[in-house]
Amino acid sequence: MKISVIGVGYVGLATAAVLAELGNDIMAADVDEEKIKCLNQGIMPIFEPGLKEMVERNVRENRLKFVSDNKKVIGHGDVIFICVGTPPKYNWETELKYVEDVAVEIAKNMKSYKVIVHKSTVPVETGDKIKKIIKESVEEDVDFDVVSNPEFLREGTAIEDTLHPDRIVMGSDSKKAIEIMKKIYDPINAPLIITSVKSAELIKHASNAFLATKISFINSVARICELSGADVEEVAEGMGYDKRVSKHFLNAGIGYGGFCFPKDSQAFIKIAENLGYDYKLLKATNEINDDQKRIFVDKVKKALGHVNGKNIAVLGLSFKPDTDDMRFAPSVYIIGKLLEKGAKIKAYDPVAMDKAKNILSNVSFCKDPYEASKGADALLILTEWNEFKEMDLKKVKSLLKSPLIIDGRNIYDLSAMEKGGFRYISIGRKDV
């Protein structure tokens, strides 16, 4: 099937690559001409396991093309996926300008029936807005349908999540459009959830809000564990065996980051507010998440007595492993606060340092964890990369000025830390 993708950011690029892998004829466009030039040279704008190889394979086999001409891409596809950015405004409302601009472009350039799919995370009622814009802007008497097909990609596993999703959500009032969408996704073995456009739009925000709430819930339990002497990992394990709860997203730490959870939870609060509902639960979720970063900084200050003039090693900068995404990463807040207090920071991340250098100043970036550890008064774990779990801890201890590890992701076993002679502070567990 001929399919067009407008916007090759994180969602658009993964969507285009996977749809091409499924055998479709894909043309993807972006207004960023430098990004398109790089993609045509095999240079990826993001780090995502398996993405580069998939893009290169499908470009080579002529199933995937990248252009910077939206008019050309609109003419190519019978189905058009809108994957442009929906960043937050200053008040956390979702900025729909780019979606609206694309809707106008589609209206002015389509010459035949199109299925127009909005895949970006958008507020409920956006589908109605897209339909209204196209009807008002269309220059020829051309039929079209609008479908909401929200993405549920996790950074670091985007290819796997697209090829093997938990479910595929399609929202439309058109049977014709739904049948076309079913054909696109037919090679993927996953439950199809067919809904109205509005329900599909809400499913994405509601899903992310629930997962954010689950993370904040276990972090609030971690605080009670620390105050009472219980172990949050034992508590989470006991909870996780209950099928109604499940073990997923019950990992205590320094809170969620990335672009989706912070942005989408704030946007959902604003959506509810505009509809006349005060979403107190989600507000509390965000407050707890913010508290986790502040609490971690306090742990560091308490452990060292003060941080002024102290050398602190930081391992992990991206908001989660297997991505170079620094957006809303807890590391940015934590490092910033420690620098304000006079600390000297040496940092290492397996893939995110190039992006971190554009965000963090007065930080020494190191070639590996051992260079960062050398002479440090404390070692902080801020991202749970496997590389850090597999470090030579004897070597780390010999390099540290003081054998102090403050772990914001609970990646080490308490007894192993005790046997290794470390002073070890984590989240929701006893200090060693």
Strand pairing partners for 194? 170
State the CB neighbour count (10 A cutoff) for residue 150.
Answer: 22
Beta strand segments in 217-317, E: 311-315
Sign of CA dihedral 392, 396, 397, 398: positive
The answer to whether residues 272 and 278 touch, using CB atoms and an 8 Å cutoff, is yes
| Same-domain pairing of 84 and 185 | yes
At 41 the pLDDT is: 87
CATH number at residue 377: 3.40.50.720
| Same-domain pairing of 315 and 357 | yes
3-state secondary structure of 52: helix
| Same-domain pairing of 347 and 305 | yes
Does the pLDDT of residue 233 top 90, yes or no?
yes
DSSP state of 48: -
- Domain end position, chosen among 131, 161, 195: 195
For 174, the domain range is: 2-195
At 234 the pLDDT is: 97
Region of 58 (left: φ > 0; alpha: ψ -120 to 50; beta: rest) is alpha
- Domain end position, chosen among 163, 195, 227: 195
Sign of CA dihedral 71, 72, 77, 81: negative
Domain presence at residue 140:
yes
Q: Which of 181, 174, 168, 165 is nearest to 196 (CA)?
A: 174
Domain presence at residue 352:
yes
User: What is the average pLDDT value for the chain, to the nearest integer?
Assistant: 95
| Same-domain pairing of 130 and 236 | no
Active site (catalytic) residues: 260
Segment 356-373, tens digit of pLDDT: 999 999 999 999 999 999
Domain presence at residue 432:
no
Amino acid occupying residue 157: T
CA distance 105 to 74: 8
The answer to whether residues 22 and 4 touch, using CB atoms and an 8 Å cutoff, is no
**Which residue intervals of 305-422 are DSSP H helices?**
330-340, 353-357, 369-373, 386-389, 393-399, 414-419
Domain presence at residue 49:
yes
| Same-domain pairing of 244 and 181 | no
| Same-domain pairing of 237 and 302 | yes
- Domain end position, chosen among 140, 161, 195: 195
Domain presence at residue 205:
no
| Same-domain pairing of 77 and 217 | no
| Same-domain pairing of 280 and 386 | yes
CA distance 248 to 245: 8
Domain presence at residue 48:
yes
| Same-domain pairing of 189 and 220 | no
Q: Which of 269, 242, 284, 218 is nearest to 429 (CA)?
A: 218
| Same-domain pairing of 102 and 226 | no
Q: Which of 153, 156, 149, 32 is nearest to 98 (CA)?
A: 32
Segment 123-162, tens digit of pLDDT: 999 999 999 999 999 887 899 999 999 999 888 888 999 8
Domain presence at residue 200:
no
* Token pair 């780090």: residue: 47
Does the pLDDT of residue 180 top 90, yes or no?
yes
Cα first-last separation, the chain: 59
| Same-domain pairing of 152 and 7 | yes
Does the pLDDT of residue 73 top 90, yes or no?
yes
Domain presence at residue 122:
yes
Burial of 206 (0-12, 13-18, 19+ CB in 10 A): middle
Q: What are phi and psi of 398, to 5 degrees?
A: -70, -25
| Same-domain pairing of 346 and 371 | yes
Mean pLDDT of 166-186: 96
What's the structural domain count of the chain? Answer: 2
Segment 295-353, tens digit of pLDDT: 999 999 999 999 999 999 999 999 999 999 999 999 999 999 999 999 999 999 999 99
At 139 the pLDDT is: 81
Amino acid occupying residue 331: S
DSSP state of 98: H
* pLDDT above 70: percentage of residues in the chain: 100
Segment 77-130, tens digit of pLDDT: 999 999 999 998 989 899 999 999 999 999 999 999 999 999 988 999 999 999
**List of residues 6+ apart from 175 with CB closer than 8 A:** none
